[in-house]
Structure 1
């Protein structure tokens, strides 16, 4: 594993003073200021909005535009007509909390269990999204309206099927959009908004909350409970779903954690969420930290469907006021999580055995299958393997009738897994997901073909990229720095998540004492195959040791003697102590972590031309479409001893179909006027690459155009007898796919954090 240490940029004194105003009185604020500065929070207004939610202006739910108005109209109609309404949720933590938010929120307007019901698919029998069996069940109950949450955007066939049964559909979701608007009454999905919009990164639960917020504003005299009572559920779903916590996501998470903590301070009999409180007690968390959700509540809610399939009772767990019932459900949930840990450990061991038979030097994508693996935990294990190997990982279970394999895929940062799997759709039965994770099923007989095809595609798209896994540390500390002051200072950055990860600390020349490990126990005292090592960490900065834990590892795995480690600082509510959570460790005999050369890379992206400084730097103005392109420029800057300035602007893309029509229009005009054109002129007009233009000209030839070269110019003529429509359609599809891929890559390079760019170009 390659260790990377983020460049420690010294923030200016005025910025440190600003941060100190927010930091605990006993703290210098220097570490927090350094982290905030490194993460792009570099002026007073940014800092205030980031650290103090009271200064943040939340976006209106009606910024979803006409779609939200259509949803409000249909919900009002349902209320007036007495239509039966069904919430269609999903079985993961985001889907369960989304369903719970709609159950409580819409329950202010529709009588629960009479006019309002909910349906959650069984993970082990059904897939994500709408399905005909469930729709038939709702039709039999005389349901007239389905409101989805965290799902539904691409279920075109199922939506049409529901309409044939007389059921309207309102979709609330945050997943990938279909090519055209689905035939729904309304669709509330932030993917329709600009990427810069503060609502763009909302998770499913936050979109559901925005729907309820809009209904509260539309019919303000009806609800009896404050809208804010839903925010604790919103925070649980947001943080458990690992969305980027910026804009309204961060704001809602901040408010929700406060709301959760306020409720937990009440005696159990007075709590609004006794089920949440009991679940936190069982996992020994207090509920005031995002990690209490990401390591406590989230995994437990997810575990129910992974082990039992049916997670419907989790909605009751999160929303019921019946203390006895909630306690029973919380204990069932805790036992499911214990079982999940044990299964996950077993599968991890089996996967590791299979990995020893693979040559990772020739493997770009790990694809493994086994008839005994339970499908519910494959995504978790695939995520572990991807992180440890630096390779996208797909694990498949062939249990059951043996004809269809089902599994999960997890990616590493630089690989768009969704696109990678989508390109093999001809071998698949079903698939869905996003760039970091996907679920899929395929005929067992297709697995060898799928493995070869997906490996070949990734090798071609990444070229000679080094897939060595990396771990990045943010700041350098000593053991003497560890403790309450540093913890409270780093807590300023919470809630952490994608785009704002938990700070990772690099501790050099340390050693471990009092090491011991044991199997974890479930709530009934039974041991499970899930290991945790406890230790004390020491270095020369202090005589006092500091406690820590290392999940999933034995004490023998800790190096003997001096070593370096990367860790996160945490507070253990159960033991009432500050401790580190070990992320990576190695002997100090190894080289020190590679420092990122971010000082040699200037980020001038999206600056207007008038603001780009005059500089002797090597300036890259054209947005790349491939890491190899960027690495070539990086090597050139190193050779010339120059800084590399990234100066491309965010692309303003035309839809691929419009680009194709423009190319056809150019060809028609040139054939009619007999004018010549250069390849560069066409590229500038269309904003595409040479490869895409080559495919475009290939497609034009099937549509009757003859393209000839005269010196450096191209001449277009048209002959109707040369039209081959079938081949032409295929060629046009190849052109559109190539343009779409280029646009996706350019969009990625326009927004990818500088820290990621630095890490990737250093993998030469």
Structure 2
């Protein structure tokens, strides 16, 4: 694994003083440095980022006509006494979304009489709407379904519901269909511009916005405060790993505050006794985002992974019956300990299979086993992808159970993403099927990789970071070979080395309450604002020990953690730490460098580090020097006058690592700083580009005018390779392209038309343009740390 130290840019003194207002017990220098690195560079931005009270949230009616349609239909249902069903999902975002609608719509519809909810079974039904569930609701007399965290692409099921007289309101945040589905309303932030403060909402936040709109439209009806839903919103937002900016950050800040306030109440007085008991069982207090991402979120997710049916989790989150909630929380905790044990078993078996692979010749890891439980494959695949730097696909050939399509990340690749709802229950087939989960790394669009092998698959669904798939067992060898070949061709000679980035260099003497509180102003952390990673150099470990974790009943589960003290030359006092999933013997002897996060253990009432990566001490100076030679001015007007001299400014968005690497080598050769200064690309759909190219060809043929290659490239906004494929396609469509000096002449020759060859050539052109656009979208957002890692590999 390659270690990278983030570019260190000293913030100005005025900014440090502004940050210090929020960290009165410390200098504020570390927090100021991190905020400056992450683009917070003026006092207005700083205030909105740190203090939610200065942030102005967006109105729910910024969803436009769709929100008005949804509210009107719910009003009609209430006025006419119709029965409404909430259709949720079984992961943490889907469960909290269902709970928000259950509590929120429950102010307008009598629960269990005019309002119910339905959670699909992960092991039998998978994500999204399905006809069997719709049939059951129709038989019970339901006239309206409100989905949450699912439904956008379930076109066939929505049409089927309409034939039964059931209207559908979709609230979701997943992939959009090519055309608006035939629904009463669809509230999905992906219809909004990327820069909109609501764009990154998860399923639970979209559901909350619907309830908020209903509260604003009918303010005299609700008896319960809208803000009482915010703790549920925070749990779903943080567990789902969405970008915590805009309204997402605002809602998470409010929700964590409410979560902590409720937990501080005596147990009988808690508004959500189930959440409180679950926090107690995972030894958390609800005041940190990590209490959700490492505590509540995994436990809610574990229920469907182990049991399939997670419906009772909605009751756990919403019931006021403390005794019942205690029972449900303890059942949830036991499911999570079972999940940990199964996950550890699969990890051990996967590690053994990895030892038999030559990773130097493996681009995509594909492993299968007849004993692996499908419910934990996504979690293990995510960890393997993170550790190896390679997309990972794990398949189970056990029985003919249903497709498992959940996600992990980070994208934690320690946490959980959600796939687009595109699968329904499938009947057992006579052909033995392997079913499993795939997880990617940042530079690889896994969904496209899997999609290109569709001819070998039974079913698949997902997004660039994660996918679920099933295929005939006999196709596994061919699938493995094909997907590896495809990725090798697309990456060229790129080395898939995993990386880990440190944000700050600190000593053991720096660790403790003061630094913890200073860095806490960055919370809630998550996607787009990761928890600060601290590099501690030349340290050593003492008093190390490990043990199996125990569940709340005192039974050991097969899940290891090592505890230790860390020491360096900065102080005589050691500092405690923990390394999850590792044995004490894995701590190397002698001096080491480590990357860790600073944490507070509310159970032990102590500050400690959580180890992320470790290695024998090395000099990171080389990578620091290289990282400071690259400046990131993307999406900003390039201040050429302020650039250091000499600089090499790259204003055109690259389409490959080799392209970017060539510019990097040029800057090194000329001893220049490389400035990344391209803007977020605005793309025409590939089909429109092809229509434009044909129109240009017809015009030039009719007028006998000449055109230069540069003129075509500038007009079409494509690469040389794309233009070459476009010219080849034109030739099959009846055009002749010849050179005249440095220009091109295009004439029309209908006799040369070859429809079959033209279709193939046009498809190749469209595929190439789509790939170029995907790569440019990736390079528009790829973190600077990844750029530094990739260009320095040679």
**TM-score (norm: length of structure 2):** 0.93
Report the equivalent of 1:763. Answer: 793
Secondary structure at 2:485 match in 1: helix
Cα gap change, 1:157 to 1:18, in 2 (>3 Å): same
Does residue 1:672 correspond to 2:702, yes or no?
yes
Secondary structure at 2:612 match in 1: strand
> Are 1:4 and 1:593, in contact at CA under 8 Å, matched by a contact in 2?
no
Distance 2:139 2:472 in 1: 33
Secondary structure at 1:22 match in 2: coil
Report the equivalent of 2:725. Answer: 695
Does residue 1:617 correspond to 2:647, yes or no?
yes
Report the equivalent of 2:77. Answer: 78
> In the TM superposition, what whole-angstrom CA distance separates every residue of 1:545-591 from its partner, at most 9, and x where no partner exists?
11111111111111112211111111111111111111111222676
Cα gap change, 1:606 to 1:580, in 2 (>3 Å): closer
Report the equivalent of 2:428. Answer: none
Cα gap change, 1:112 to 1:733, in 2 (>3 Å): farther
Report the equivalent of 1:316. Answer: 315
> Are 1:120 and 1:311, in contact at CA under 8 Å, matched by a contact in 2?
yes
> In the TM superposition, what whole-angstrom CA distance separates every residue of 1:485-530 from its partner, at most 9, and x where no partner exists?
1111111110000111111111111111111111111122221111
> Are 1:3 and 1:593, in contact at CA under 8 Å, matched by a contact in 2?
no
Cα gap change, 1:424 to 1:612, in 2 (>3 Å): farther
Does residue 1:539 correspond to 2:543, yes or no?
no
Report the equivalent of 1:518. Answer: 547
> In the TM superposition, what whole-angstrom CA distance separates every residue of 1:352-391 from its partner, at most 9, and x where no partner exists?
0110111100111111111110000001101110111111
Does residue 1:233 correspond to 2:232, yes or no?
yes
Instruction: Give the one of 581, 585, 594 matched to 1:556.
Output: 585
Distance 1:131 1:694 in 2: 45
Cα gap change, 1:187 to 1:605, in 2 (>3 Å): same
Cα gap change, 1:162 to 1:485, in 2 (>3 Å): same
Secondary structure at 2:744 match in 1: strand
Pick which of 593-602 and 126-135 moved more.
593-602
Secondary structure at 1:48 match in 2: helix
Distance 1:487 1:496 in 2: 13
Secondary structure at 1:183 match in 2: coil
Does residue 1:629 correspond to 2:659, yes or no?
yes
Report the equivalent of 1:571. Answer: 600
Pick which of 418-427 and 345-354 moved more.
418-427
Does residue 1:580 correspond to 2:609, yes or no?
yes
Secondary structure at 1:595 match in 2: helix
Does residue 1:42 correspond to 2:69, yes or no?
no
> Are 1:273 and 1:318, in contact at CA under 8 Å, matched by a contact in 2?
yes
Distance 1:462 1:437 in 2: 19
Secondary structure at 1:27 match in 2: coil
> In the TM superposition, what whole-angstrom CA distance separates every residue of 1:178-218 from its partner, at most 9, and x where no partner exists?
22222222211111111111111111111111111111112
Pick which of 406-415 and 342-351 moved more.
406-415
> Are 2:95 and 2:313, in contact at CA under 8 Å, matched by a contact in 1?
yes
> Are 1:378 and 1:408, in contact at CA under 8 Å, matched by a contact in 2?
yes
The CA RMSD over aligned residues, in Å, is 1.8
Structure 2 unaligned segments of length 5 or more: list them.
401-430
> Are 1:604 and 1:612, in contact at CA under 8 Å, matched by a contact in 2?
no
Does residue 1:404 correspond to 2:433, yes or no?
yes
Secondary structure at 2:367 match in 1: strand
> In the TM superposition, what whole-angstrom CA distance separates every residue of 1:287-344 from its partner, at most 9, and x where no partner exists?
0000000000000000000000111110110011111111000000000000000000
> Are 2:539 and 2:567, in contact at CA under 8 Å, matched by a contact in 1?
yes
Distance 1:399 1:165 in 2: 37
Note the C-alpha offset of 1:723: 4.2
Note the C-alpha offset of 1:122: 1.0
> In the TM superposition, what whole-angstrom CA distance separates every residue of 1:65-116 from its partner, at most 9, and x where no partner exists?
2221222222222222222211111111111111111111111112211111
Report the equivalent of 2:242. Answer: 243
Note the C-alpha offset of 1:592: 6.6
Report the equivalent of 1:643. Answer: 673
Report the equivalent of 1:653. Answer: 683
Report the equivalent of 2:773. Answer: 743
Note the C-alpha offset of 1:656: 2.2
**TM-score (norm: length of structure 1):** 0.97
Does residue 1:436 correspond to 2:435, yes or no?
no
Distance 1:489 1:252 in 2: 22
Note the C-alpha offset of 1:728: 3.8
Report the equivalent of 1:4. Answer: 4
Secondary structure at 1:597 match in 2: helix
Cα gap change, 1:162 to 1:101, in 2 (>3 Å): same
Secondary structure at 1:717 match in 2: strand
Pick which of 499-508 and 443-452 moved more.
443-452
Report the equivalent of 1:18. Answer: 18
Q: How does 1:355-366 map to 2 (within 5 A)?
A: 355-366=354-365
Secondary structure at 2:562 match in 1: strand
> Are 2:443 and 2:778, in contact at CA under 8 Å, matched by a contact in 1?
no
Note the C-alpha offset of 1:52: 0.5
Distance 1:427 1:218 in 2: 51
Report the equivalent of 1:278. Answer: 277
Does residue 1:753 correspond to 2:751, yes or no?
no
Distance 2:359 2:562 in 1: 29
Secondary structure at 1:418 match in 2: helix
Distance 2:455 2:481 in 1: 14
> In the TM superposition, what whole-angstrom CA distance separates every residue of 1:95-152 from its partner, at most 9, and x where no partner exists?
1111111111111112211111111111111221112222222222222222111111
Distance 1:578 1:159 in 2: 51
Distance 2:631 2:306 in 1: 49
- Structure 1's consecutive aligned runs of 4 or more residues displaced over 4 angstroms after TM superposition are 589-593, 609-615, 719-727
Secondary structure at 1:476 match in 2: strand
Cα gap change, 1:620 to 1:110, in 2 (>3 Å): same
Report the equivalent of 1:339. Answer: 338
Report the equivalent of 2:137. Answer: 138
Secondary structure at 1:570 match in 2: strand
Report the equivalent of 1:268. Answer: 267
Secondary structure at 2:582 match in 1: coil
Instruction: Give the one of 734, 739, 745 matched to 1:715.
Output: 745
Distance 2:788 2:639 in 1: 26
Secondary structure at 1:95 match in 2: helix
